[in-house]
Structure 1
Amino acid sequence: METRSQLEFSLLSWGANSYGQLGQGHVEDQSVPRLSDTAALQSRVVRTVSGGGGHSVFITGNGEVFVCGQNHRGQLGLGHNADISTLELCPSLNQTVKNVACGWDFTLFLTDCGQVLACGSNAFGQLGVGSSVSHSADLLVVGCLKDPAVSVAAGLRHSLAVTDSGCVYQWGTGLFSHAKRALSPRPVPSHLCSQVPCLVPGVDQKTSHLVAAGSAHCVCLTGDGDLFLWGGNKHGQLATTEPFLSSPSLLKRSLLDGEKVLNVWSGWTHVIAQTESGRVFTWGRGDYGQLGRQASTSQNTKQQSAGPLAEGGNQEVCLPAEVKVLSGATQIACGSEHNLAIVGGCLLSWGWNEHSMCGNGSQTDVFQPQLISGLRPLLIGCGAGHSMAVCAVMTGSR
């Protein structure tokens, strides 16, 4: 009898799992990729995967949302505050969702009509609904955006959005203390201390279309392939020696060999950009291997005179440098301090590995991208300390 192969899909997850964010029905960390419980999906295809401090969000092909993990501030949008260790449909989302951004303990959903919905902690105004709400397990509409949003980003305690007119908005007070220390006695600009969406000045003449956020910094990418960065620079993630930038600053294209940027991602303290030719550059904090390149001894000696970059970084490492093994990557995802990439159909991981989120069975930090063998990844995503991949599995049928 003839045996035929058919393609099936599986969801694998690994790393930190204290709240059930791996969707495996338990709360034990996993040092290598393991199957998640996908019974609730009922053969739906997952097209977006994202994670926060202890929660995970999955968007299906028809725009439905499934969630699991930590829910103490209502960040799963389920109307209650109980943690969930297997995937569960978010029933209150009756709109089609096309993207999601997970902060530490809050979540932003972007619908297909450009509306932004938020849930979880609002202790720092990161939900964009004002100060009267401390947290919400129900989805709240983020107002004050004059046009439909096309991109959203969630940092540790702040949020960003780009509208279809190319304007950038910021809300949440997570950067306020950094700004106050750096700018004193000058006042802190309103976009760094607003609890509702506030227009970010300095990119008015540009058409932005993508935003990314770190723990204390912000990134936006324009349609012209230019990158603008602002916020905290403790680890050189802004590629400058200034300790803090209150408004967007253009990253000189010469730092990327003159190339335009096509995509950008951000961890808590590092940035990854891919240029028009497929090359991948990294900069910012690298002491856990976040940059995918080993710092040399000569670079480390420069740390003594690096000024504001001296704490947790150095001048040389903080400038963009190419990671050649990542050239041509079709997907990249950043956790807080670790990363995943799909290159040539293979899955690579690198960075902080305390909870085995690099998936190699150890807890030793990974300083250069390494292969996670045996997986055929189609889609990847990271939480702060966990990793997820949708993989193709060949099965035999008669």
Structure 2
Amino acid sequence: MSLGTPDCTPKCRSLEHAEEVIAALTSGSDGRLRTYLSAHCHNAATLRDSYGRTALHLAASLGKRDLLQWLLDSKHADLLVKDKESGWTALHRSIFYGQIHCLMTLIKHGGQLSIQDKEGLSVLDLTMKDRPTHVVFRNTDPTEVYTWGSNTNFSLGHGNQESRHRPEIVDLFSRSGVYVKQVVLCKFHSVFLSQKGQVYTCGHGQGGRLGHGDEQTYLVPRIVDGLLSHQCSQIAAARDHTVVLTEEGYVYTFGLNTHYQLGLSPPLASSQIPKQVSCKALKGRMVIGVAAGRFHTVLWTRDAVYTVGLNGGQLGYLLEPNGEKCVTAPRQVSALHHKYVNIAMAAASHGATVCVTEKGDVYLLVDYQCKKLASKQLNLKKVLVSGGSLDHRVYPQVLHDGGGEKLVILALDEAGRVSNMILKN
């Protein structure tokens, strides 16, 4: 690298300079490269070589995050510029070469994951394109758990309160040889289900939401002893309670029961250990799935859906004529009881419930109604719902007349595509 005063102007478009800049970026430290770019060309951050590549493209490809940050902050490099060969932006290049730290920097500077290349592939599509098509992941394959984010409530399971800005492995499972097949993270606690059907929880234990028989805080995941005699198949959780389904079709709940969301009879204020939900309305039907919102719990069999808890419109039926605001025992949603309706899956948020049938019909329980959102969505693998609004009049101390949160419904299909379902009035 030869250093000196640039022999060009701020409007330089020299292809020779561009080729020299791109070549220089393949070696040298970030600090030395910054000095070289500043001294070699007035327009080093904008120049494009014969392939349409800029300095930002190369920095993203090579994982030079400090240089990339300098190009964005000091040189105002355009992160949406596409190269000529494939139409890739710096974001495409960072994900293709596995430079996740550079991708995160680009996103923080306004980079869009949805921007497409010449083949119509977004940044996320590119991560799926080159995966081995002959390899099929099975639930019995070895798995490891990584968590990251805010750890104020000890929900990450790392043994301390430090937040994680990058994914870090949960040591307890890796050291113990425990493979996890399902994870549910909530505001105050996390729930983990192992491949062998054991349930682990960590976080704040107030109200008994961890199921350990006390209200202590647990920094690392601890096995729920009260479920050791069962092989559990599915877990669900919300802010204050946890729901577990066993292989035999039994449902266990624990945590706060302020809104009767535990579905226990007789009702308790809370349960610090797992207790079985006894539901006469099931009439011998086997429960195959569970979901949980902050104020309610959802159970479903092959041909029926049951909800229990505070009825703010998300349970699927009208308010009680006698003014009762809560449903204390699981009750069947009659609007979904049809001869040819078979339930495939369901999901719950604090203000809504979504159900999907085997024929691909998608229903939304909200505003005391059962609304059909879509038909023949036959390849859905998973559905999630967030937000929604509840009738604030049923519990004005907690629910405010603010219109609720925006309702978002996401669906994952077997091809790995995620779509957003919009409610059409």
Change (3 A) 1:45 1:282: same
After superposing the two structures, state which structure 1 stretch, 118-127 or 44-53, moved more: 44-53
After superposing the two structures, state which structure 1 stretch, 212-221 or 51-60, moved more: 51-60
Structure 2 matches for 1:180-191, cutoff 5 A? 187=321
Q: Give the one of 200, 213, 238 matched to 2:333.
A: 200
Letter matched to residue 110 of structure 1: L
8 Å CA contact 2:211–2:273 kept in 1: the answer is yes
8 Å CA contact 1:67–1:87 kept in 2: the answer is yes
Change (3 A) 1:183 1:153: closer
8 Å CA contact 2:373–2:424 kept in 1: the answer is no
Letter matched to residue 260 of structure 1: L
Deviation at 1:189, TM superposition (A): 9.9
| Corresponding position of 2:287 | 149
| Corresponding position of 1:394 | none
| Corresponding position of 2:84 | none
The answer for unaligned runs of 5 or more in structure 2 is: 1-140, 388-406
2: CA distance between counterparts of 1:55 and 1:174? Answer: 24
| Residue 217 of structure 2 corresponds to residue 83 of structure 1 | yes
TM-score calculated relative to the size of structure 2? 0.55
Deviation at 1:51, TM superposition (A): 1.9
| Corresponding position of 1:96 | 231
Deviation at 1:8, TM superposition (A): 7.6
2: CA distance between counterparts of 1:175 and 1:109? Answer: 24
Relative to total residues, which structure has the larger helix share, 1 or 2? 2
- SS in structure 2 at match of 1:73: helix
After superposing the two structures, state which structure 1 stretch, 22-31 or 75-84, moved more: 22-31
Deviation at 1:211, TM superposition (A): 1.2
1: CA distance between counterparts of 2:311 and 2:241? Answer: 13
Change (3 A) 1:277 1:187: farther
Structure 2 matches for 1:290-369, cutoff 5 A? none
8 Å CA contact 2:267–2:328 kept in 1: the answer is no
Relative to total residues, which structure has the larger strand share, 1 or 2? 1
8 Å CA contact 2:260–2:267 kept in 1: the answer is no
Q: Give the one of 167, 180, 189 matched to 1:33.
A: 167
| Residue 266 of structure 2 corresponds to residue 128 of structure 1 | no
8 Å CA contact 1:214–1:270 kept in 2: the answer is no
TM-score calculated relative to the size of structure 1? 0.59
| Corresponding position of 1:42 | 176
2: CA distance between counterparts of 1:54 and 1:41? Answer: 25
| Residue 364 of structure 2 corresponds to residue 229 of structure 1 | yes
8 Å CA contact 2:363–2:374 kept in 1: the answer is no
- SS in structure 1 at match of 2:310: coil
Q: Give the one of 146, 150, 153 matched to 1:12.
A: 146
Deviation at 1:174, TM superposition (A): 5.1
Aligned length: 258
Instruction: Give the greater-gyration-radius structure (CA).
Output: 2
| Corresponding position of 1:266 | 385
| Corresponding position of 1:169 | 306
| Residue 158 of structure 2 corresponds to residue 158 of structure 1 | no
Structure 1 outlier segments of 4+, above 3 Å: 7-10, 186-190, 258-261, 274-279
Cα deviations by residue, 1:111-134 (Å, 9 ceiling, x for unpaired): 000100000010001000146311
After superposing the two structures, state which structure 1 stretch, 56-65 or 119-128, moved more: 56-65
Letter matched to residue 334 of structure 2: P
Deviation at 1:10, TM superposition (A): 3.6
Letter matched to residue 172 of structure 1: G
RMSD (CA atoms): 2.9
Letter matched to residue 335 of structure 2: G
Higher relative contact order (CA 8 A, sep 6+): 1
- SS in structure 2 at match of 1:104: coil
- SS in structure 2 at match of 1:172: strand
The answer for unaligned runs of 5 or more in structure 1 is: 1-6, 232-243, 285-317, 321-398
Deviation at 1:280, TM superposition (A): 2.7
Change (3 A) 1:198 1:25: same
2: CA distance between counterparts of 1:159 and 1:225? Answer: 23
- SS in structure 2 at match of 1:196: strand
| Residue 261 of structure 2 corresponds to residue 139 of structure 1 | no
Cα deviations by residue, 1:265-310 (Å, 9 ceiling, x for unpaired): 12233111235665432146xxxxxxxxxxxxxxxxxxxxxxxxxx
Change (3 A) 1:40 1:8: closer
